[in-house]
Structure 1
Amino acid sequence: MSVSASRRRVRAFRLAAFVAAVVVVAGVRAADEPISPLPAVERLDPRRVELGRRLFLDKRLSSDRSVACASCHLPRHGGADTRAFSIGAGGVRHVVNTPSVLNARFNFRQQWAGGAATLEELVGHVVKSPRVFATDWPPLLERLSEDKRLVRAFGDAYADGLSARTVVDALATYQRTLVTPSRFDRYLRGEAGAISADELRGYQRFKDYGCVGCHQGVNVGGNMFQRFGVMGDYFKARAAAGQPLTDADRGRYNVTKNDEDLHVFKVPSLRNVARTAPYFHDASAQTLEQAVSVMLRYQVGRDAPAADKALIVRFLQTLDGEVSR
């Protein structure tokens, strides 16, 4: 082998070693990031998943057979509603903006005020809620039992067949499959090219401005309660703008009746956030850009140049994903 060829091989080897080292270092950095990649979904009983999927689409869950879970949790809209406030049975308008059902399994509690500890408990709440299905278990089970194929399917999947417990379990089991891996998860797992340079700069701004103080972990949020207006009185400003306060603005206080919980809400997950406008419990932000500005002002206590806000939005768009099957 010639000297020049040997040198080329040495240079190529060194370059390959350098690239490998960068990948390893990037992986180590990813492991130390405040946001964690979504874990793999465990295999769940496919019969129960399918029953839950069927029920999720079934309008018989509502007292007047007018709405299903899927009426307000739209997959193409990030698992949320296109409307500011969803419409339940009997045409009743909800008082808070519908949160996403996607990746809800990773929330430490469910609903804006944390009124449900688990997905199972959440199903029980919405069945009886006058703003959602406005029914109760005896009439609901009577309606479902008229469907003999459904009854047989429940008998195949559960030893005790169709019951309140098994309906709850099926719906919760299906919702646990609604996990949406994103490009940003691939980046966190060491695939540096999964996001662009601008998106990476946006992530750095997201950290620099302190957004990760509340939006971190597996679900980029969903793991704590926080007051809406840590660094400024959001509700006073809203009232001054002619928007009267409602009972829903009390937040977690409605659950605990503890004065310290007034205006406290569960920090929402930001996964698929680019698809779920309008934003906040009161649907007051119509665009993601507006939501970022409000958060910077009232939660962080800072403003930011338009270029930085645009970069943060670019980063948030990397959190979009599709349900993996």
Structure 2
Amino acid sequence: MQLLNIDRRIQRWIYFAALIFGASLLVLFLQHRSSFQPSVTIPKQIEIALTGEPIQAIPQEIAINLPKVTLGEKLFQDVRLSTNNQKSCLSCHSFSLGGADGRSHSIGINGIPTEVNTPTVFNARFNFRLNWNGKYTNLSDHLDALMSNPKVMGVQWPAAIRSLEQVPEYRQLFDRVYPDGLTPTNIKDALVAYELSLNTPNARFDRFLLGDKQALTAAEIEGYRLFKANGCISCHQGVNVGGNMFQPFGIMSDYFAARGRMTPADLGRFNVTKNEADRHLFRVPSLRNVALTAPYFHDGSAKTLEEAIATMTKYQLGRTLPTEQIASIAKFLRTLTGEYRGKPL
């Protein structure tokens, strides 16, 4: 057992070294690319290239099917899609709370808490997998699971159809949008169309990337520099600033041993694959609108953004950052809050 623990520590250090090496190569590559691109001067002589960055701006516009989106929005808010009309999708995905619900664990039907913290529904189209354990590759299958889950919606499709058929407006809307009218497939299609429309472009950091010299303060730009320099960018990059890979929780030290109170949900992707290598492996969350979606992590254990940063740097990077650096990174992360339908979140 002692040899096994030693081997695991060695593996963690090798993993960490590879992670930092990869991040360093990424930064060098991007710096090389950006040397051929124009840069802008930020107040106090801080400069950053607006192209070649590891984070990309959310597109300002996307193609949508308006009739489907409109119908999907109505369904998203309707408690008829749950047992005994107790919950709607909106119950756990409040737009005033960044597409989450502000709880460590959401309260499903009959007051039963969910097994994990509810991820934001915003910008879901940019995630490569869904759920913390990455079980689902598309929103339609994900909806199927949530509908039947006794801790979430707890309803089967035949019952949902019967409930919606009692509303003449729904029958009319489905007949208008779909040739075969009100069916489980069409309910899911409308909801998926709506969820795919829930994008939040025009964050201040997006405007900065697109050339607005005044979008960020010098302190926020310094926070972004620290975010990259400390290796956070190796897992949180791309359009969604995450959501595009799996990573173990506790690379440099054992987060779960320190926290205690292990639950089945803590096994992460292992629950899907039953592969030992996937134990405690989770989909990296998006950091879009992260200032609004506390508490953090799959277990909702971090109550503040600063606490989440400290935990990440300790268990993922093996270092303790000074309080001022944590505060600086938090300032940068708050610039990732975007707009929905032209209004700030």
Establish whether TM, by shorter chain, passes 0.5.
Answer: yes
Matching of residue 189 in structure 1 with residue 210 in structure 2: yes
Aligned residues: 301
Aligned partners of 2:38 and 2:50 also within 8 Å: no
Per-residue deviation, 1:257: 1.1
Matching of residue 226 in structure 1 with residue 247 in structure 2: yes
Q: Find the counterpart in structure 2 of residue 283 from structure 1.
A: 300
Question: Match for 1:167 among 182, 187, 211?
Answer: 187
Q: Find the counterpart in structure 2 of residue 25 from structure 1.
A: 39
Q: Find the counterpart in structure 2 of residue 256 from structure 1.
A: 273
Which whole-Å CA distance do the structure 2 matches of 1:95 and 1:318 have between them? Answer: 30
Q: Secondary structure in 2 aligned to 1:265?
A: strand
Q: Find the counterpart in structure 2 of residue 208 from structure 1.
A: 229
Describe how 1:64-143 pairs up with structure 2 within 5 A.
64-143=84-163
Per-residue deviation, 1:302: 1.1
Which whole-Å CA distance do the structure 1 matches of 2:113 and 2:315 have between them? Answer: 28
Which whole-Å CA distance do the structure 2 matches of 1:28 and 1:195 have between them? Answer: 11
Describe how 1:259-278 pairs up with structure 2 within 5 A.
259-278=276-295
Q: Secondary structure in 1 aligned to 2:250?
A: coil
Q: Secondary structure in 1 aligned to 2:299?
A: coil
Per-residue deviation, 1:308: 0.7
Q: Find the counterpart in structure 2 of residue 313 from structure 1.
A: 330
Bigger radius of gyration: 1
**What fraction of aligned residue pairs are identical, expressed as a percent?**
47
Q: Which amino acid aligns with 1:274?
A: A
Q: Which amino acid aligns with 1:205?
A: L
Moved over 6 A (4+): none
Which whole-Å CA distance do the structure 2 matches of 1:212 and 1:115 have between them? Answer: 24
Q: Secondary structure in 1 aligned to 2:336?
A: coil
- 1:246-275 Cα shifts (integer Å, max 9, x gaps): 001010111111111110000000001001
Per-residue deviation, 1:205: 0.4
Aligned partners of 1:115 and 1:255 also within 8 Å: yes
Per-residue deviation, 1:28: 8.9
Gaps of 5+ in 1: 1-22
Q: Find the counterpart in structure 1 of residue 238 from structure 2.
A: 217
Root mean square deviation, CA, Å: 1.7
Moved more, 187-196 or 52-61: 187-196
- 1:1-49 Cα shifts (integer Å, max 9, x gaps): xxxxxxxxxxxxxxxxxxxxxx932499222111111124323121110
TM-score (norm 1): 0.90
TM-score (norm 2): 0.85
Q: Secondary structure in 1 aligned to 2:193?
A: helix
Q: Find the counterpart in structure 2 of residue 304 from structure 1.
A: 321
Q: Which amino acid aligns with 1:136?
A: Q
Which whole-Å CA distance do the structure 2 matches of 1:103 and 1:206 have between them? Answer: 21
Which whole-Å CA distance do the structure 2 matches of 1:99 and 1:66 have between them? Answer: 20
Per-residue deviation, 1:118: 1.1
Moved more, 311-320 or 40-49: 40-49
Q: Which amino acid aligns with 1:256?
A: T
Q: Secondary structure in 2 aligned to 1:131?
A: coil
Aligned partners of 1:41 and 1:177 also within 8 Å: no
Q: Find the counterpart in structure 2 of residue 8 from structure 1.
A: none
Aligned partners of 1:96 and 1:283 also within 8 Å: yes
Q: Secondary structure in 2 aligned to 1:220?
A: coil
Which whole-Å CA distance do the structure 2 matches of 1:234 and 1:200 have between them? Answer: 30
Aligned partners of 1:64 and 1:90 also within 8 Å: no
